[in-house]
Structure 1
Amino acid sequence: MAVPGKKLPKHFSLSTMGFDEDSKVYCQPCDRDGPRLPAHGYCADCKEHLCETCFIVHKRHTLSRHHTLLDKNSMPQSISSVSVHPTQPDNFTKSCPKHTKEIIKFYCQNHKALLCSVCVTLEHTGASCKVNYIPDISGQVINSKELQDILKTMATITEQCRKKSEDLKKNTAKSNNSLTDALADITKFRKEINQRLDELERQAENASKTILQENNKNQKTVERTCDDVTKSLKTSSDTIKHLNTSKQADKLFMELKLAQQMVKDYEKRVHHLAAYDVKEYNFKENKVISTLLDKERSLGTFAEKSLKQPRSPLGVDIKSRQTSHQGEICVKTSKDKDRCHIEGIILFPPDLLIITDNGNSAVKMVDTCSQSVTDQLQLGTGPWDVTSVTSTKFAVTLPDKQKIQFISISSNKLRKKQNLKVDGVCYGISYCQGKLVVSFQNPAKLQILDINGTVLTTDKSENIFSQPLYVTTNTNSIYVSDWMMKTITRLNWQGEVTGSYGGTTRPRGITLSDDGTVLVCDKHRHVIEEIAGDCSTGKVVLKDLNGPRAACWCAETCKLYFSCITGQDKHDNFLQVFKLS
């Protein structure tokens, strides 16, 4: 090790390494930096002779204090037996992940970290770091409790993996079989529908045959009557003409009187024929059936029941997290006429955020790498919540318009697509497995819709919501934050309540972490709380915030993005970024 303050010589030769003509042993570090000083000792690890000053410094320095030092009497008396390019000991072979050219030799007790010499020098020199040279402490791990514990943990995890794999295999087979049964039920249901439709068709055919028979019968009756009347009138007419021609007055008189009576009778019979009304027919479809087939988009739904085993009470514990503030992103733009009012946030991996700015009636696209707004779409009305639908499309709620607006991302530009009219003042929204879950106010309710807006399910419990503002979902559950009820409510996909957490004061935006817990913005307590997936318990993970409003979790980076609303530009115009690990 060189003594501080010396400069590297311009010329370097083997003689400066101690190979002079008289073979006298000199300090090799000093030879590289300046004046030649006689060797006072030798470092077996560095394979270098040291002068008295370098020998003392070598014993004190963090990186070399564990080296084996030989005094003047024990050191090699010739430099020829010493390798100029020492190699690493065989037991040090693992490269440092940060400094790939360095070998790991040290361990920091405080940070539980394996270190190379560069790590120690740059990052672990503080008083809080207790750094050990690995050979000095490695002996204690042989047959130690730590070794037994880690082997036991490894065996436990291995067994858990085996069991998880077996359970998943069984459950997958059961799920696949259930789908086969469900498809058989669909076929059966379809046959029943066909049979019912065939029956209705036969009824229509029978009604048509009855009308047809009645028409033919009436036609024959009218034809027979008209034929009889015509023949009788012709016979009487011919007789009257003959009697008149032959001047047979007596007979003519009687025939005329008989004819007058006959005419009266026939007029009545002909008049009665007018009652036979023949109609023209066309088919008028059953509007109920027509509307049903036009409106419905499926024969039914797949009702879900989780095959996952219930977690034990220990399974709902929330792990402790280390938190660090990663900075903030300004989302105020030159197009904004007012202070930002961010009510919704979603992530489009890996580095795009979509935010709804209710105060400026806009949707904004934010690049987390450049930390800037890259596009802004004006909507003409204040958007509330937002959810991703595909990798290039998302949906926002427009409470004032009672609509859901779809928006696409194309070539880093936001473009309006279709919209859905809903039957209420819509706020929270979340998309999962082809379904939209939407919360409403006035009246308060929760609906599950298909992508075309058809209502599939409405929450089945009364008086559970007052002001449900935000919704988030996964394949098993729906979570709703209610500002007035002060609750986070968990429902299944049939709209039934399966859990509730009441430890918040004014819950706002919610987001799901990758391990199934729910992160909730509690505006009045100025905290973000993490709640177990079954809503059994909760724990504050961030405090002393400034009115947290909407939140979004990034599983890949373990970062939480959230907005604040306080009425001040310094808070409202920025997204906060925290790392939770």
Structure 2
Amino acid sequence: MAVPGKKASKQFSSSTTSMASDEDLQIYCQPCDEEGTRLPVHGYCTDCKEHLCKTCFIAHNKNRLSKHHKLQDATNMPQVLQQLSTSIHTGQSDDLTSPCLKHSKELIKCYCHDHVELLCSVCVTLEHQTTSCKVDYIPDISGDILDSKEYQVILNAVNTTSDKFQQKVEDVKKMTYNSNSFVKESLAAIKKFRQEINQRLDELERQTEHAANVIQQENNKHLKAAETTCEDITKSLKISSDKIKHLNTTKQADTLFINLKLAENKMKVMKEKLLTLLSFDIKEYNFQSNDVISNLFKTEKSLGTLIQKTFNTESQSVLIKSRQSSREGEICVETSKDEYVCFITGMTLLAPDLLIIIDYANNAVKMVDTSSQSVSDQLKLDDRPWDITTVTSTEFPVTLPDKQTIQFISISSNKLIMKHTVKVGGDCYGISCYQGKFVVSFLNPAKLQILDMNGTTLKTIDGKNIFKDPWFITCNRSSIYVSDCDMKAITKLNWQGDMIGSYSGIRTPRGMSLSDDGTVFVCDLVREVIQEISGDCCIRKEMMQDLKNPYAICWCEETKKLYYSAKKNDEKYDNFLHTYKLS
């Protein structure tokens, strides 16, 4: 047993001093010795290869980065000082070489599941020490990432986003061509009009041509900027994709894990840039001749005006499309655990082949594999859930109106697991998430609240004179859409809470889903149709009819599939998700 004063073998040295005297040959706590304090030894860490005093021994067993280390008591520990290896954690993977984004001198070593963040040891100590944080050492969890579903989901997201940017270049080219074509037609009209008047209009003609040429130059300038942005981002995403594939092929699990998480964060930024390009507006023009000039051109100073065609680009791209729908089939979501006929009130998509649905009647959250067309897992809750939204590819919140609570749920090893809860001030129904912010709708009284990830209220929007019965909501970068069952309307708000649009041509609005181009798909329960509404709530189209009381809805952009549930009070319809392909 080691006691103060026990002499060590002379071939070993202290971490800070040379063994020049008998005093230096004694065994002391090595971490404290490095700070200039010599304390008696209480135990030994085989991973760090250090002798520890009682205080360091206890702290070592509690610290997140060292609690998995193997410790020996004073009886079993080496009785001589051990030389420190070049790495404190001898079992640490050589792949842990990525610098922390917050602390550039530290390496990423851990991952927080609750905050979905890559961490260094400083991050863990300063920001993630609470017991609610689930922090793992990356080498302990990275082995499962190779060829995993998460690997496939993120890689597919990288490739899909890259494809969207490539497609955006083509869309901008087409819009520019159309705009320039109208400008050319305007120039032809100018020429024809000029022929009807005398030579005195030459100067006015040149002025109007100059205005048209300026528009062309601006169009081409915007096109060049869009091309450059999309090409640069496409190249960057290609590099990320190739690197991820290489790391997976070479089984570099730690680096692959880090790069996948970095790529996932990168996708959020890329999607924001894509939405910016989607809102890009290239105007079209027609030439309108000046009738006054036709008779009194000597007194006029203008040949005419290039009139801009005013329309919203976001809604235009939706309205120009003529979607054709074809029924693909049904997915049975009834399980042996169910006591009642299913009532699917909400659903969200985690991956093209993975749906999470809310079964209100059976107090359940169900995971649906759309490839095998089956329920792969089911989680029973202690109260009735209503709606759901996606936070990450593995985590989502569910509203529990009667408990006035939001329950967070995650997926681990293809199983649904309950995590923490957030208490809210009211009967919470609809929920939607965008870039770390939640929009939650409440009844009695009707209101919306914008919350952060911790449940802190950032803004409250009173429903007075705006909405009365907001059962469902959805949101994107610029807008919040409310499905109001009482006012029979879809109401559009901005993130400041101002009403900026409304469509009231719906008899019984229920669930909604947003497409990337700004279309709002809405279930009209009693009329048994799904309506397609433009992003500005100005125009709608009944795209699917005779659907047997559609209730909740979910759109998959990658597969162009629309899933909806029915509320017919008939197990032949209510126990199934109904699938349509749109083209």
Structure with the greater relative contact order (CA < 8 A, sep ≥ 6): 1 or 2?
A: 2
Name the larger-Rg structure: 1
TM-score, normalised to structure 1's length? 0.49
TM-score, normalised to structure 2's length? 0.48
